[in-house]
Structure 1
Amino acid sequence: MDEQRQQRIKKITQSIIGLPTLPTVITQMIGLIDNPKTSAKDVASLISTDQALTAKILKLANSAFYGFPREIATVNHAVVVLGFETVKSLGLSVSVLERFAGGNSATDFDRQKFWEHSIACGVAARMLAGKLRYRVQGEAFAAGILHDIGKLILSQYFTDEFAQILALVRDEDLYIGKAEEQVLGLTHSDIGHWLAEKWNLPDKLVSAIAYHHTPGRLERGAELPSLIHLADFLCRREKIGDGGGIRLPNLDPAALRTFGIHEEPKAAMRRIFGYGDLLHEEMERADAFTSIARGEGTDPEDNADPDSDPDPGSGPDGNGGGTGSEAESEVVGEVRR
């Protein structure tokens, strides 16, 4: 390894070490949900200690994205109908969105288009999870939103190097990962991996961030990275937001084989790309997430008291009568993990 590359890696590593950790309530929530003895009341009580998080969980639970037919007026109700994994993923996603929302780097990197792409990847991953029978759709959604977090670190803390990378992408039509390797000797996946480990994110999310371009490198546990790999391709094909230039990364056929798809890759990807129209429809219902990415806050006073009883007669966000997706349908008396 040449000395210049060593210095760059050292600089990036030190910057990541110096970044703030996730809010305490989020790390506590992850630990609580991962404990099999935890109840919905336990999770709701913890979330309710943070008024801003409470407001956003309720706003998102009542958004058109989930489409529940009745208003979800309490955090406890939200935990019950969404399930533990979805609530955990929402908390993580909201926390990271807010941490980097609204700001701009000194480069010509369009952060809003970046977030549009990231949210689209989350939506696509959740959608493909249902199509490909991946059980935890909430986990897929969070992984899609967070998969390119390394690019944000580059844009915010390494503006000179990132400007060089973007120039290579623009002027030489390079795939952004190749440009990153030329300039830094590593990629946004490496940087995202380090950050995810610093934040003590769940192992599956760490793996998805690290291997979303190369799921075939994993001997086991490749399902979530493979899902994000395919979701990323679908979002790039549909030109939703900006995933880092026009040039696509190489398709890793292992991502298809992971889900039992053994046909010729081009034919298989035509099937994946066939979900493009459905993805655009789902994105229209995801505005509650894009508003957070735009830095638009939620006033906790506009939301129902998290300890009040739910009103069974109201529709979510004024959309009355909407129906949730099959995987997120309302459950009475049972909390899904």
Structure 2
Amino acid sequence: MSIPSGSVVGRLDDQMCELLLIEPDGAYRAVLKALLGVVGYQPREFASIAEARPAVVPEGAYRGILLAWDPADPSGLDFVKSLRADPALKETPVILIAEEATRAEVLVAASVGVQGILLKPEIELSRLRVTLRRAMPCQTSRTTRTTEGVIRPAAGAVTDEIAHIQAAANGEIPAASEPRPVRVLEEPKPNALRELRPIIQRSTMLERLAEIEQTKAMSPTITQLMSMTRKPDCSLSAVTEVISHDQSVALKILKLANSAVYSRGEPVNSVKDAVLRIGLERIRQAAMNIGVIDQFGTTDVSARFNFMHFWEHSICCGLLAGKLGEMTGTLDRDRAFALGLLHDLGRMVLTESFAEEYETVLDTAHDLDLPLEQVESRMLLLNHAAVVERVLHMWNFPKELIGPMANHHLSASNLREHAGKQLNETAVLALANRLTHAMMIGSSGNDAIYATEALCKLLKLTEDHIAEVLERAEEETRQIKLSLLMVSEQQPWPAVPDHYREKLSGPFRPLYIGDENGLDGFCIASKRLADVSDEPPNIALVRLEAKRQVVRLGTTLSEREEELGIGPLPTILISPGGDIALDHGQMSRRQTVQLPAPITIRRFVRAISFLLEDGQGVDEAPDNPDTKAA
């Protein structure tokens, strides 16, 4: 086969990039032409190699050649060999397009020196775009002109497909035409939640909840404070006197007044000044908060339920709710803090009043890697939010506090339907709870990560708003827990992120791909687990809310990998049902695990560790974070 010597491949310009398309099937050629136009390439079309020969001329404007390849016909690879044998054309990028190819045929093509192989069933927009831009770049920054006048891809611009093929030729990995497995990590049974059955009758649940009003009465001091502060003629001196007679309550009120919730100016050192700072209108709520904590959570009642972590989670949720409430003009900080502090109280009730049954629920949620509230609803017929609603009604808590707590696990769309006039208040609490989960500050017994973007949009919050809310969350939580829980700074307090980070099989450096990362709870959680270093990412995480995002986010992932000179990275795909995948071309080139949202942190960590070890899995360490010191 004679090819004119001295031809030049490529000419830099600002218009669409031209390439030679050699494809005998006219209908498929038309499809390719349309796809190429979308990704910025203008093909010169030919039905055969013979027809294309005259176009390979000196000063040719094309970037490379897209060549239909039938492995049974040697003329295609002979054509490529002739290019590689010509000093002026040996750098010409060539990508083969085949209907199908065996492993052996792919290896033969790799040995000839093609820049990539695309299988027709796998050709989709995102893969075509990335493959072409790596092998036949349009931008000046991605090309270099050689002394022979040939424009060749810059260093690192060779396609990942051909790198994969070359590795296959060396026996290192499977050929690119053999898709890598999607669900390689051992996962819970898909219908595990549906198969759960109740372990207690609803009537029994309600009877035992009704007994709590007598068994969990507030202390006399708290009861007196709640009663007197209902009256319009309640005086500062009377409240101060009642608090002063109870040393434990007085100390907590003083510490609370000097905490991040109320602190303004110089510290206060008397009960009177503390009451003044908190305010008579708010002292009732502060007393209720203290009373509830006094009634619950002084000792651990379950191996899977730690009271320190529980109240740490609740305090952080209260602080975040206060900031979000003020930011959106929805709630004053005091009421929002109470909502966050008490929102999971139903779990404390369940651990104490339904100890045996709830231990079974906790074990089941852990073993199946399911969010705890889902297992509660299936096995107890009431989840903790429904429990706290009933208990607080019995304790005569204000109705405006009870509604948001009862609905705080609903999604943004369900809140619009069920929250009524308290939509924004409930959304504030729901978002504060999900952000606390993402930050892994404390643990409510349910270490899970939830979607947050829809709630942020409902409340019209931006990424800057969320960054501001989270900025000092850990430090302010530490201050409040010292005030309300009466613990010292020297007391061991295991840190939940440290516990999970230590369970990873290696340093985790995520490349996160989503629409609004700053609003995304999964992105926030990933940063909490990430290794702090300047090393390049080693795992990609793609957040897919809907199938319409597949092409766009898949393309974004490939572009980011190209910019960083890495990839294809092992990838975790997170979607509502765990069933949305990237296009087939993307999936075939990378180790992939698909996870549903919400997801337990334990399952998330296991998936990360699996991919860090390239699918080999890890031995699990004990799951009790209390075995680790902060």
Which amino acid is the alignment partner of residue 234 of structure 2? T
**Structure 2 residue aligned with 1:53, among 230, 244, 249?**
249
Q: Please say if 1:277 is aligned against 2:277.
A: no
- Note if contact 1:85-1:136 (Cα within 8 Å) is conserved in structure 2: no
Unaligned runs of 5+ in 2: 1-197, 491-630
CA distance in 2, matches of 1:290, 1:47: 15
Which residue in the other structure is 2:425 paired with?
Answer: 224
Fraction of identical pairs, as percent: 26
Residue from 483, 504, 520 that aligns with 1:289: 483
Q: 1:105 to 1:3 in 2, by over 3 A?
A: closer
- Structure 2 vs 1, CA of residues 71 and 242 (structure 1 numbering), >3 Å: closer, same or farther? closer
TM superposition score normalised by structure 1: 0.74
Q: 1:108 to 1:122 in 2, by over 3 A?
A: same
SS state at 2:201 partner: helix
Unaligned residue ranges in structure 1 (runs of 5+): 297-337
Encode CA deviations 1:130-161: one digit per residue, 9 max, x unaligned.
22223421111122111101101111221222
Do the aligned residues in 2 keep the contact of 1:150 with 1:192 (CA within 8 Å)?
Answer: yes
Whether 1:246 aligns to 2:447 is: yes
Larger relative contact order (Cα-Cα within 8 Å, sequence gap ≥ 6): 1
Deviates more, 1:119-128 or 1:73-82: 73-82
Aligned counterparts of 1:293 and 1:89: Cα–Cα separation in 2: 22
1:15-57 Cα offsets, whole Å, 9 max, x none, are 4244221123323323433434433334323333433322221
Q: How many residues align?
A: 287
- The reply to whether residue 211 of structure 1 matches residue 407 of structure 2 is yes
The answer to whether the 8 A contact 1:166-1:176 is kept is yes
**Paired residue type of 2:475:** E
Q: Which moved more, 1:107-116 or 1:16-25?
A: 16-25
Structure 1 vs Structure 2 CA RMSD:
3.0
Q: Who wins on radius of gyration, i.e. which is larger?
A: 2
* Local SS of the residue matching 1:117: helix
Q: Which amino acid aligns with 2:241?
A: S
- Match of 1:137? 333
For 1:131 and 1:107, locate their aligned partners in 2 and report how far apart those are by CA, in whole Å: 38
Alignment of 1:112-261 (within 5 A): 112-214=308-410, 215-216=415-416, 217-248=418-449, 253=454, 257=458, 259=459, 261=460
Deviations 1:154-199 (A, max 9, x none): 1122122212221232122211111001111110011111111111
Could you report, residue by residue, the CA deviation over 1:83-131 in whole angstroms, capped at 9, with x for unpaired residues?
2343223211211112223212144212221111011111111222222
Decide which structure has greater helix share: 1
SS in 1 for 2:448: coil
Q: Which runs of 4+ in 1 moved over 6 A?
A: none
Q: Secondary structure at the match of 2:388?
A: helix
1:89 is matched with: 285
* 1:252 CA displacement: 9.7
CA distance 1:6–1:169, change in 2 (3 Å): closer
Q: What is the identity, as a one-letter code, of the residue corresponding to 2:419? A: L
User: Is the Cα contact below 8 Å between 2:404 and 2:422 reproduced in 1?
Assistant: no
Provide closer, same or farther for how the CA distance between residues 209 and 255 of structure 1 changes in structure 2, counting only shifts above 3 A: farther
Amino acid at match of 2:472: L
CA displacement at 1:9 relative to structure 2: 2.2
Q: Displacement, 1:241? A: 0.8
